[in-house]
Amino acid sequence: MDTQEKVVLIVEKDTGIANMIRAILGIVNVPVMHTQQGNEALAAVKVSNIGLIICEKQMPDMSGYELLTFARNHPATTNVPFIMLIDEGDTTHEKLDAARRADRYITKPFTARKVLDVVKEFIVYKGL
> What mean pLDDT is predicted for residues 57-85?
92
Q: Which domain holds residue 80?
A: 7-126
pLDDT at residue 1, rounded to an integer:
36
Provide DSSP, 24-91. Answer: HHHTTT--EEEESSHHHHHHHHHHS-EEEEEEESB-SSSBHHHHHHHHHHSTTTTTS-EEEEEETT--
Answer whether 91's CB lies under 8 Å from 112's CB. Answer: no
What would the pLDDT profile of 75-100 be if each residue is shown by its tens digit?
A: 989 999 999 998 887 777 666 655 57
Task: Evaluate if pTM is beyond 0.85.
Answer: yes
- Is position 99 within any domain? yes
What would the pLDDT profile of 99-120 be if each residue is shown by its tens digit?
A: 578 899 999 999 999 999 999 8
What is the CATH classification number for the domain harbouring 15? 3.40.50.2300
- Is position 29 within any domain? yes
- Is position 1 within any domain? no
- Is position 19 within any domain? yes
- Is position 109 within any domain? yes
How many domains, the chain? 1
What would the pLDDT profile of 16-46 be if each residue is shown by its tens digit?
A: 999 999 999 998 889 999 999 999 999 998 8
For 120, residues 6+ apart whose C-beta sits below 8 A from its C-beta are: 28
